[in-house]
Every structure is written in structure tokens, then in C-alpha cells.
Amino acid sequence: MFRPDGLTTGPAQVWNAIRLVPLLREEPVPHLRLHRRVYEQPVSVVEVGDGTVYTAYVPHAFVATWSEDDRLPAASYGTRLLERDTRPAPPRMPVRTTRRMARKAGKDRLRFLPLHLAVEGYLALHFGGPEIVWEEWSRRAVARGLSPRCEETYLGSEVRGLEDALRIFEIHPGQCGVLVYVADALAGAFVTPHQDDYRALHPTLVEDLFGELIYMYGLLGAPAGDLSAGIDGGGIRSLADLRAAAARARDAWADFHDGTMAGGLRDPDGSRQVVQFLNGFELARFMPSFGLRRENHIGEAIVDEEGRLAYMKTFRLSDGQVRRGHLLKQLARHGWRLADTAASLGVGEAALALRLERSGFGHLLRQDVLDHYRAQARREGVT
Amino acid sequence: MSETFADLIACEDALMFVNAAITSTGQREFRHREGGQRLSLDFLHRYTLANYRELYAAALALRINDHNAALIVLNLLAHAGDVGVERRRHEGRLIARRLELLPQHRVYRVFRELRRLGVNNRRTRAIVRDWLAGRRDPAFDAVKYRGAVKSAVRHAHLPLDGELGPFLFAPHGVRSFRTPIFERWRRAHYEQAALYGLPFTVAEGFAAKHEIPREVFLERIEPQMTRLERLRHQEGARKAGVDAVAADLGAMPLTRLASYVLSLPLDDRAARRAELTAALRTAAGRAAGAAAGSWGRVTAVLDDSYSATGSGQKRRRPLAVALAASFLLESLAAEYTPLWTSGRADELLLYPYGPTPLGERILDALGTAPERLIIISDGWDNAPPGLAADVLRIWRTRLDPARRVMIAHLNPVYDADDFDVRRLAPSVPAAGIRDAEDLATLVELARFAEGRLGLDALRAHLDAQTARFLEVTA
């Protein structure tokens, strides 16, 4: 069940394979706004004057010119919480050096791929690699962990139909978030504390990052079906009855969506790591359980003191990424011993080693060890 | 009455075509690009021409838009050989009458297109000749549409009298023209003062050549501007500091006026509230004519959701149609309640905003116990999707089976995927709308879409329209 405090699910809008489900807030989360610099014009934050502290946040990978000194725009690195109008700016990297990953969005505003850090380094962050040099692991794996490794992801504009779907989406009054479905597979969730922030960031969703699964589903382009159950005319004798039935249908949709469609977003076995804490807001990154054959989402979230979800951004891992994560998780659980892990998976050591290689982790094993396993597999006729 | 299945299909096809011909202009819409629009429209034209040529030609008598009228004329002339002499003669009369109603530049575009396609049968030449002969001021036309007139004359092998020939084909060999406008055109090449006697669009070119400052040019060319040119350049002129260019808003057609109002910034609209409202009321009153006040209790559900933005090519067109229709309905009705989807009430300060909760607004509208319910929307009901269809279906089947409330849906947007305007529910007739002024006749036409009146009735309706259309010339 996905139903964060203070957010209600609105009616979905469908364009071909894309379904966008708005998340609405009756009132914005107070004291947290998008950092002023992210806007091209200054945000009109009302001065309260009684010492109330406003906190600002900068979503991961937003690009702005942060100060007079560095003229070049820079991308923030990971979502950060900031005191309002903090100088200097958050941890950032100049965009020029990362041209490959940055995309132009407007004259002097670019968008770096969000969650880029989390995706490219999600394995490295989560699993440092073996701490003990078992004889099979190469020296490099121990010294540097799993890096460098990069995961393949797709820009939102490459997901077929997403650009159009976002362009024609009719933003609801009070809308503070959206869930993106491609062929009714949840691609990601995005939540902001204030509706103006959402309006400012809505068009940038097309610059977001999506996994291979979502890209493929977009390419296949199966139109999303009609999920509204409709109203049964039976027993309706007046306009008031009809109105009540419409209200019931609306609630039924919200329940169905939160329970069934977005249910995979909450992973009871996932882990959560608090990154930053400021003025009562808590920024955390979460990792899924890497369970096979289920949805796995990674992401970032900001929660306020009362437990209201102020900001959230998730990314759905594709099946390949989940399998790799699963493999590493098993290895980590067994202290990075190949023999134990193979036993727990119910396969031979050689098979596990080859599976590691197939998953792109071949460079972690010592060359001679890998060759040994290869030879063994050949002998046994396993390819 | 024996209605066969084929008749039903014919009836549906005809209405589909008429709806498309009213709404689609082959331009980009909010949801579809122009390529898709053109492809879809082109197919529909070919299909209708091949299967229902009679209906296809008769569509010229209806209030279809100029883009489609031009296409029909073109197609009929290009495929003239497919039908007998008698039919052709009838079509020729329809074409001639329609060409009289089309704006000149569109007609010249048709002639150019005919030339491009290599259509040059005897009837085509006769039509070009007759149309050109009917022009009030051939000299003026020749200056304003010089290239187009030249191409048409050349294509139809027309003999030219007077100075028209030299003007079109060898103007540089002439020392001076006796026709004043030709002479002004000749002098405008080197004399600034002469260009202020030329049509606005031609003078604009010469002004650029002589590098005349915009404000000076607008100030002095003002008497030469047409009504619509004035409306179009009014705001630009005001920015340039020229107040002389002022359109008489009271004389503007209703929908165009609504478009103009919506193009103004909100502050301007608030400041000129009285003037704009009065102009809209006057235009609506003129459009309603004798029918004013005769519609009883009317409630309208009007779409001002974000999709009413239209596109870069049709800026806020759906919203302008809804706004114009609202003023028209106000003058048609004895008692009128407008319900905008966003819930806003100040019509003058509208802008496209938010989702389209049509279902809820229709519920609200039915709650006002109207005699007529008019829905003006692009038909994309999304908050929640499908509620409008459910509400209308249950209303028709359970709450009002006797059809006491007349419901009609008018849709300003052509849906390229469906070859028709998007419908809300099968039980509610839908018709395309281009100009709010046609609202009354379209509500009439929408009855056929309900499927209760058959092909014979539709044919009769079309014949009556055609007769009325041709009568004016006779």
C-alpha cells in the first residue's frame, strides 16, 4: 500500500502506453521549498518575520549558476537539504566536464540525469566488495570495491510517448507529485513539498532517468487499458444517488491504485539510510530487497518532523539490475565466500563463478581462478 | 421506413465527414501534430469522395471551414471525369457559390494548387474565368495578389484587357500606368509616399524595402487596413506607440472577438472589462438574431481545462469557442447558467487551467434542472476519466428516459485517430464546431448523430441546405 501522509491519489490521465497518476496535497508541507537558485526567477517565499526557518532543497542533478564567481552552471550531486539562501552552494560538479550526461534544458539551465549517482553507483554504495581476501577474489576487487561499473539507463525523452504524455498532462490544482506508469508498470514516483515546485519541475521529468524495462515497454507501445470500473446504474434513482456513486468510484480507484498499482513501491525488506538531517527534515536514500521477480525501486526521500513525505524520487531497477543486486546480496550475506554462496543458491561453485562473469562481474575474480572454473565447466559440459 | 444497415453506415460516415470538415484545419492541435491531422483528413476526403460523392459535394453548402471547402473544391475538380454531365453541372454551381464565399487568398491558393496538380479541364478554366470576372476590382486584386493572379491567368489561358497584361507580365517596360493603383505600385518602388495608397500587405513589403520605421508606417497606412488587419495589428501598434490603429470591436464576428479578448494580458482585460464585455454582448446579440431569448432555461458546461490551450497554430481556439458560445447562449437563453470545468466564474479573466472534471460539472448542470444542456469540450474527460459518459448514460436510461432535457455536445477539436470529434457517450449527440456563431445550426445537425433520424432525413436536410445555399445567387 502506497499512501504517504498528506497525499491523496487523483484520477489518472492516459496517453497511449503512459499513465500518469497525480498526487494531490490539500496544503503544502511548510518550511521547505525548492532552492531559489533552481528557479530562474526568485521564488516568492512569504517572509513570516517571526524567526520561522525556511529550509531549501535542491533535487539531485539540478543545474544552476550558483554564485557570481563560477560563471559556469554546475549540477548538484545528490539531493541536498540547505539552509535558505546558503552560500556556498551544495556539493556540485561543473557541468562542462560531464557534458555527456548533462542535457540542455533552457538557456542557462541544464538537467543532469537525476539519481545518476544512485544508479551508477548503487552497487558500489551498497556493497563495498569483500573485506577479506578469499583466494578467488582479485586484488582490485578488494582495493576498490565494485567500482567502476556503470548501469545502462535511458533518458525520459527516449521512452516513447512520455514527452507527449507530459506535455498534454493537465496538472491538477494542488498537485504535488506524480507516479509514472509505462504499460502499467510503475516507472517511478516524484513528490515535491509545494505545488509551485511541482509546476516548475514537471517539464523536467522528461529529462529523468528510466530503466531498460521501462524503455522496452515504451517501445512496444501497448496502449494502457481503461481501468475505471464505471458506475453501475442499478439502484440509482436521483441525482444525489448518482453523485454518491461517483464519489464511491473515486475512492475505489484511489484504493485500487494505492494498494495494487503502486503497492510495489513499499518494500518491507528494503533498507534505508539517513543521509542528512536539517531543521527537522530528514533526507534518506532507500534500497530495495533485490527480491527476484518483483518490483525493486531505489530512491531518495525527504520526510518532515511529523512524518509527512515532503520530497521523493524513485527509480525502478530493471530485471538485469535486480538479478545482479540479488547476486551481490547473496555474496555479501555469506561473507563473500563463493563456496557458501553457491551452496545457498543450490549451484556448483563453477556455475556461480560463470554466473558472476555473465553478470559483468568477471573482473572481480582473479584471472587464473576464472579460467579454472571455465575449464571445469567445459569438462562437465556446462556452457 | 426501411432503414438498412448500409443506410445507417452511410449516415454515420456522412456525419463523421461533416464533423471533420467543420473542425479540422490540418493544423496542429493540443494532442495531435499537423502531420497526423493532414493524413487523417486526407484519408477521410478520399473515402467520402469515392463512396458518397453526392454528400461530399453537398458539404459545400454547410458551414464547413475554409480549409476543407478548398479541399473539396480541389478534389471535385480533379476527379471531374468520374460522374455524368448533369451531376457535374450541379457540382459546378456549388463550387462557384462556395468560391464566392471563400476569402480571396484561399481561392487563389486553390487555383495555384490546381495548377500544381495539373488539373486543367474545360470546367476548371470556366470556373476560374467566371470567378475572376466576378471580382469587383480586378486592378486592386492584381496588386494585392499579384503572383497568384498571374498564375491563375496563365493556367486558365485568360485573355487580358487594358493594362492588366503589362502590369502582370511586363511591368518594367511601362513608363507610366493610367490605372491609378498600378501607377502607385510602380512609383512605390522608389517613392515612399506612394506606398500609402497600396493595400496594407503590399505596402508592408515596400516599407521594409525603404526601411520606414514601423510606427511611422502603421500611423500612415492605417486608412488602408481592412477590419481584420486592424484587429490583428492593434496590440502590436499600441506597443509601438501608435493609437490610431483601433479596430471597431462592436463590428467583429463573435469568435474572433473572443480570440482577441483571450489574447490580451489579464491586467488589460480587467482594465477594459466594460468595453470588452459590451463588445462580446453586441456580437453575441447579432449572432443570435431573431432567436434571442427563445431557448428557455439553458445550462452550459464549458471546458477551460489546460487542453483548451490549443496549439501554437490554434492559440486558445477551443477556449475562444467556448467563451464565444457562452455569450451566445446567454443571449439565446431566457435563463442561463454557465459552468466552467475549472469552477471559475469570471469569464473575462479565463485562461486554460487544470484538469477536465466534465462528469462532475455535468452533474452540477443537471442539478440546475435545465431545458437544454449544452456541453462544449474537446471530449477528453479525465478527472476522473469516463465519469461524464457514466453520468450521461445513467441520466438517459434511468433518470430521464423521456428525454425532457435536450443534451448536445459540441466539440471544437478534431480527433485524428478516430476520424471524428471525440464523443462523450453514445446517447448524447456530438457535433464539431468551428465558430460559435454556428451553434444553433449545429445543435440541429447533432440530432442526426443520435441515430434516431435516418439517412432519408439527413438527405432531406442536406438538400434543403443546398437549395438555400444556391438560392442566394439565383
DSSP string computed for B366-384: HHT--SEEEEES-S--BTT
Q: Do A228 and B393 touch (CB under 8 A)?
A: no
Q: What angle do CA B258, B261, B266 make, to 5 degrees?
A: 140
Distance set, CA B282 to CA A321, B220, B337, B346 (Å) = 67, 30, 19, 18
Q: Do B384 and A237 touch (CB under 8 A)?
A: no
Question: Do residues A33 and A48 lie in contact, with contact meaning Cβ atoms separated by under 8 Å?
Answer: no
CA B374 to chain centre: 20
pTM: 0.88
**Residue-level pLDDT at A42:** 41
Q: Per-residue pLDDT tens for A227-264? A: 877 888 888 899 999 999 999 999 999 999 999 898 88
**Residue-level pLDDT at A115:** 47
Q: Per-residue pLDDT tens for A91-138? A: 555 544 333 444 444 433 444 444 444 455 555 555 666 666 677 777
Average pLDDT over residues A190-207: 85
Q: Do A168 and B367 touch (CB under 8 A)?
A: no
Q: Which amino acid is at A338?
A: L
Q: Render B257-324 in DSSP notation, one character per residue.
A: HHHHHHHS-HHHHHHTHHHHHHHHHHHHHHHHGGGTT-S-EEEEEE--SGGGGB-SSSBTHHHHHHHH
Residue A214 has pLDDT above 80, yes or no: yes
Which residues in chain B are closer than 8 Å to A236, comparing Cβ atoms? 394, 398-399
Q: How far apart are the C-alpha atoms of B114 and B73, rounded to whole Å?
A: 10
Q: Do B355 and A228 touch (CB under 8 A)?
A: no
Nearest-CA distance from B415 to chain A in Å?
14
**Residue-level pLDDT at B272:** 93
Question: Do residues A121 and A105 lie in contact, with contact meaning Cβ atoms separated by under 8 Å?
Answer: no
CA B428 to chain centre: 24
Average pLDDT over residues A146-162: 73
Q: How far apart are the C-alpha atoms of B447 and A93, rounded to whole Å?
A: 65
- What does DSSP assign to residue A84? T
How many C-beta atoms lie closer than 10 Å to residue A125's C-beta? 17
Residue A29 has pLDDT above 50, yes or no: yes
Nearest-CA distance from A183 to chain B in Å?
17
Q: Do A13 and B354 touch (CB under 8 A)?
A: no
Q: Which amino acid is at A274?
A: V
Interface test with A, best of B382, B397, B404 (most A CBs within 10 A): B382
**Residue-level pLDDT at A145:** 62
Which residues in chain B are closer than 8 Å to A170, comparing Cβ atoms? 305-307, 354-356, 382-383
**Max Cα separation, chain A?**
81
**Residue-level pLDDT at A48:** 41
**Residue-level pLDDT at B271:** 95
Average pLDDT over residues A292-314: 87
Of residues A170, A226, A236, nearest to B386 (C-beta): A226
**Residue-level pLDDT at A112:** 41
B162 at interface of A, judged by CB pairs closer than 8 A: no
Residue B301 phi, psi (nearest 5): -105, 115
Question: Do residues A18 and A161 lie in contact, with contact meaning Cβ atoms separated by under 8 Å?
Answer: yes
In the block, residue with C-alpha cell 474565368: B129
Residue A155 has pLDDT above 80, yes or no: no
Q: How far apart are the C-alpha atoms of B314 and B400, rounded to whole Å?
A: 38
Nearest-CA distance from B325 to chain A in Å?
23
State chain A's mean pLDDT as an integer. 76
Which residues in chain B are closer than 8 Å to A225, comparing Cβ atoms? none
**Residue-level pLDDT at B465:** 86
Q: Do A226 and B398 touch (CB under 8 A)?
A: no
How many C-beta atoms lie closer than 10 Å to residue A30's C-beta? 15
Residue A289 has pLDDT above 80, yes or no: yes
Question: Do residues A177 and A192 lie in contact, with contact meaning Cβ atoms separated by under 8 Å?
Answer: yes
> Which residues of chain B register pLDDT less than 50?
1
SS3 label, residue A342:
helix
Which residues in chain B are closer than 8 Å to A243, comparing Cβ atoms? 363
- The two beta strands, B406-411 and B430-432, are parallel
Nearest-CA distance from B427 to chain A in Å?
15
Q: Do B31 and A233 touch (CB under 8 A)?
A: no
**Residue-level pLDDT at B471:** 82
Residue A207 has pLDDT above 90, yes or no: no
